[in-house]
Amino acid sequence: MPTLGRSGLRVSAAALGTMNFGTDPQAPTSETEAHRIIAAFLDAGHNLIDTADIYRGGTSEEVVGRAIAARRADVVLATKAAGPQGSGPNHRGLSRAHLTRALDASLRRLGTDYIDLYQCHLPDPDTPADETMATLDGFVRAGKVRYLGCSNFTAAGIVTAQWAAQRGHGTPFVSLQANYSVMARAIEAEILPTCREQGLGVLAYSPLGSGVLAGRYRRDTPPQPGSRLAQWADMPGPTARSFVAGLLATRHFDIADEVAAVADDLRTTTATVALSWLARRPSITSVILGPRTTAQLTAGLAGLAFDLPEPASARLTTASQFTVVPPTNGQHHATSV
């Protein structure tokens, strides 16, 4: 197993994402099935399980905690904080007030006295990085947390946090969770080089482009009622609808068609091709799978293990290539070609 960033923590190349797990009737995966998935994942020799305090109103953490109770020492348990945990102004973000409350709540829901990898789920522009990193370092010194990570941070945000940890002689981040797939490669421009420089391993989420790369959606066709993207599009406010529209962009379907063509040539599935391409990208420590069923887990693990021929991989890399636009505001950014 690879080590996670500039640390000695060994994690599996496959990680289990648990956003679908919960106890509410609307949860895609029941607790019984979640327990089966977790047992199958661990039995297959993998160890990194990722959740968050906002998944299913915290019930994802509860389900995970009960499922791993008898095998806690075999699990690298990761969770995240920053999202809203109440209506008050101090019930979200990366302040000392919120993180302290959030960590204690996660430990209680998970039924454990420590978390292996505690991650900042989102950046918080209103809280100084020095406050956040000093708070997180305190968790490590208290034995409640072993390692620290972040999610959805920019390259600048990563550097700012690492410098804050260094100034305070504290604990730095060792990982970043980022959206990365053959159709979402913008992190290659600045974020992946920054992770290498700053000693962060990369955990790639949404490896199938929220289902677009698995063939679950069709070009110029609204998402089917009940599908994940249909549910997101129905959320209040314009942000979710804009996000869904971006996922269903013509360029993404062009890439999905190329993935499907490669899959046909190799007589395998589109998901297998997309996962295999991603698992072999430089700087990727682990790919996060988000199965709803044990069958989906089995297929996902097989996809990560599939040996995608180099010509096929190069074909997809070319088809999904992006370029770096010259800076207009003091920063570079990535775009498609």
Q: For residue 35, how many other CB atoms are within 10 A of its CB? A: 17
CB-based contacts of 316-320 (< 8 A; 24+ apart in sequence): 316/182, 316/255, 316/258, 316/259, 316/262, 316/273, 316/277, 317/277, 319/254, 319/255, 319/258, 320/182, 320/183, 320/185, 320/255, 320/258
Please report the beta strands in the chain, taking only residues with DSSP state E, as ranges in sequence order. 14-17, 48-50, 76-81, 115-120, 145-151, 173-179, 201-205, 284-289, 322-325, 333-336
Q: Using alpha carbons, list the distances in angstroms from residue 188 to 14, 200, 248, 251.
A: 20, 14, 21, 18
Angle among Cα 100, 126, 242 to the nearest 5 degrees reads: 105
171 near 177, Cβ under 8 Å?
no
- Nearest to 121, CA basis, from 72, 181, 55, 37: 55
DSSP state at residue 79 = E
* 180 is a catalytic site residue: no
- Which residue in the list 55, 118, 147, 180 is annotated as catalytic? 55
Active-site residue numbers?
55
